Amino acid sequence: MNSRLPMHQKLEIMVSACADKHFIHWQQAESLIQVEFSSLLLMIQWLNDMKRQSEMTTEQARIHIDIQKNTMRNRLMALPNIPLVEIEQMMNTGIDSIRKELYQEMDWLII
């Protein structure tokens, strides 16, 4: 990724965006969602590298992202007593917080 922001800063932005929303179960989910966001960022970096080397199409990359998001959702659902709607809101908040940055860095829309 021709990154303007290092991955750890993107992760901090994602986590901060969620913390700022004051989700009811944020403290319970924070450590696991950090791991999941980190995994997502690594996947995005890999996909971008593959696409730039013409080893993957945009459509294939989007399928990988869908798989990654489903995996994130399933892992986060393992946390007790957190509604799926809140898990979705946390995921979307984190992703939305870096969406513009990713597009500017990659010059194509991945997520």
Range of the domain at 43: 29-106
Nearest to 45 by CA among 74, 90, 93, 10: 10
Specify the number of domains making up the chain.
Answer: 1
Q: What is the pTM of this model?
A: 0.89
Domain for residue 111, yes or no?
no
Question: In the chain, what percentage of residues exceed pLDDT 70?
Answer: 95
> Per the domain annotation, does 12 fall within a domain?
no
57-91 b/e (C-beta count within 10 Å ≥ 16 → b): eeeebeebbeebbeebeeebeeeeebeeebbeebb
Let me know if residue 33 belongs to a domain.
yes
Residue 81 confidence (pLDDT): 93
Q: Considering the domain boundaries, does residue 37 fall inside one?
A: yes
Low-confidence ranges of the chain (pLDDT < 50): 1-2
Domain membership of residue 43 (yes or no) is: yes
Q: Which two tokens stand for residue 47?
A: 């996909």
The 3-class SS string of the chain reads CCCCCCHHHHHHHHHHHHHHCCCCCHHHHHHHHHHHHHHHHHHHHHHHHHHHCCCCCHHHHHHHHHHHHHHHHHHHHCCCCCCHHHHHHHHHHHHHHHHHHHHHHHCCCCC
Q: Is 10 part of a structural domain of the chain?
A: no
- Specify the pLDDT at position 64: 94
- Per-residue confidence (pLDDT) for residue 104, from 0 to 100: 83
Does any domain span residue 8?
A: no
